[in-house]
């Protein structure tokens, strides 16, 4: 059940878009890293490239492009051996499927990071600037990771039961981004400049001055 829900969630359109982008970036970064020699700086750039918060698809792609270019320059030194990180089998997955592939897992993790506007260290034990292979992703020592796991349960539950029941739409979905929008603390109140009321609909169905996008309806 959980496995199916998780896969459905990952395959849902909003997630899949972020997921596909993130995966493309990982591939680009991995290709660049494989060709390169400077792993430490590469890791730092990797995190910058994929962790950029907000409406970041362009920023992510741009960062990945820059990243690839910087590695193209570094190609003349000794051959590089990539230190693996986040390799399966995963040891401490309690909500995500244990059969999840590495690209799916990393795509999900990048989606979490982008949704909250944070980097891996927000939830995982590790030191910024150190290679990701030195991180302890298995550990549950950080409260944020434990909360994130419960948030994941919340999302799966909403999508599997509440939203389809309320809307009648099997595909109605929320994700981390629906609430978080690039911040760790979702807004609970409208921003101060939000209008108090929406103007009432006009009594006259035919506006006196047609707007460009209404021309068809008026003529
Ligand atoms: C908002 C919190 C959060 C962020 C940010 C985050 N993760 Fe995770 N990560 C989790 C949670 C929660 C789990 C466990 C999921 C479960 O129990 O099913 C996890 C599990 C993992 C695992 C599996 C470890 C194992 O063997 O059990 C890896 C690897 C991982 N994350 C890598 C990353 C990487 C790389 C990043 C940065 C790109 C990242 N995570 C960012 C919350 C986060
Ligand atoms: C229905 C809205 C909603 C969804 C969906 C949601 N969250 Fe949250 N999340 C919240 C709220 C509300 C808080 C509490 C923020 C506060 O303390 O003010 C929160 C807090 C958190 C925190 C703790 C932040 C802190 O500073 O203490 C983490 C970590 C987190 N969420 C991760 C996630 C992840 C990962 C997902 C997707 C799997 C997710 N959330 C989905 C509403 C949501």
- Give dist(CA 134, CA 188) in Å, integer: 37
The pLDDT assigned to 31 comes to 41
Residues pairing with 125 in the sheet: 136
Q: Which bound ligand lies closest to the C-alpha atom of 153?
A: 2
Q: Which two tokens stand for residue 133?
A: 């292979």
CA–centroid distance, residue 200 to ligand 2 (Å): 35
* Residue 30 pLDDT grade (very low, low, confident, very high; cuts 50, 70, 90): very low
> What confidence tier does 6 reach under pLDDT thresholds 50, 70, 90?
very low
What CA–CA distance (Å, rounded) separates 142 from 121?
9
Instruction: Give every CB contact of residue 95 below 8 A, 6+ residues apart in sequence.
Output: 2, 6, 149, 152, 153, 156
Domain boundaries, the chain: 2-159
pLDDT average, residue stretch 195-207: 76
As to burial, measured by CB atoms within 10 angstroms (0-12 exposed, 13-18 middle, 19+ buried), residue 159 is buried
What is the tens place of the pLDDT at every residue in 128-160? Answer: 999 999 999 999 999 999 999 999 999 999 999
Instruction: State in Å: Cα 136 to ligand 1 middle.
Output: 10
Q: Is the entire prediction scored with pTM above 0.75?
A: no
Q: What number does the ligand 2 atom closest to the CA of 123 have?
A: 29
Q: What is the reported pLDDT for 201?
A: 83
- Cα(67) to centroid(ligand 1), Å: 23
Would you place residue 206 in the very low, low, confident or very high pLDDT band (cuts 50, 70, 90)? low
Going from the Cα of 156 to the center of ligand 2, the distance in angstroms, rounded, reads 14
**How sure is the predictor about 208, in pLDDT bands with cuts at 50, 70 and 90?**
low
Tally DSSP H helices, then E strands, for the chain.
9, 0
Mean per-residue pLDDT for 51-56?
33
Per-residue pLDDT band at 197 (split at 50, 70, 90): confident
* pLDDT above 80: residue 70: no
Mean pLDDT over 172-178 rounds to 97
Pocket of ligand 2 (CB under 6 A): 112, 116, 144, 147-148, 151-152, 155, 174, 176, 178-180, 184-186
Q: What is the pLDDT of residues 108-117, one digit of tens each?
A: 999 999 999 9
Which residues does ligand 1 sit against, CB inside 6 Å?
Answer: 86, 90-96, 105, 109-110, 112-113, 116, 118, 120, 122-124, 132, 137-138, 144-145, 148-149
Which has the higher per-residue pLDDT, 103 or 36?
Answer: 103
Mean pLDDT of the chain: 71
User: Is the alpha carbon torsion for 102, 117, 142, 6 positive or negative?
Assistant: negative
Contacts of 181 (CB under 8 A, 6+ apart): 115, 187
Segment among 54-58, 160-164, 172-176 with least mean pLDDT: 54-58
| Whether residue 164 has pLDDT greater than 70 | yes
pLDDT at 42: 33
């Amino acid at each position: 059940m959980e496995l199916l829900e998780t896969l459905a969630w990952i395959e849902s359109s909003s997630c899949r878009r972020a997921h596909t982008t993130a995966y493309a970036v990982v591939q680009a970064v991995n290709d660049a890293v494989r060709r390169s020699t400077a792993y430490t700086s590469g890791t730092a750039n990797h995190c910058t490239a994929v962790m950029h918060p907000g409406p970041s698809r362009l920023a992510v792609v741009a960062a990945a492009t820059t990243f690839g270019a910087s590695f193209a320059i570094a190609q003349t030194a000794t051959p590089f051996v990539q230190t693996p990180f986040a390799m399966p089998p995963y040891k401490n997955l309690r909500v995500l499927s244990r059969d999840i592939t590495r690209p799916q897992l990393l795509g999900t993790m990048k989606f979490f990071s982008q949704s909250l506007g944070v980097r891996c260290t927000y939830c995982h034990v590790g030191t910024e600037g150190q290679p990701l292979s030195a991180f302890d992703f298995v550990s549950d020592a950080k409260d944020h990771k434990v909360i994130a796991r419960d948030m994941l349960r919340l999302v799966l539950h909403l999508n599997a039961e509440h939203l389809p029941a309320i809307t009648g739409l099997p595909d109605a979905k929320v994700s981390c981004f629906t609430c978080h929008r690039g911040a760790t603390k979702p807004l609970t109140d409208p921003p101060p400049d939000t209008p108090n009321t929406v103007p009432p609909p006009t009594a006259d169905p035919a506006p006196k001055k047609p707007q460009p996008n209404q021309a068809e309806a008026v003529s």
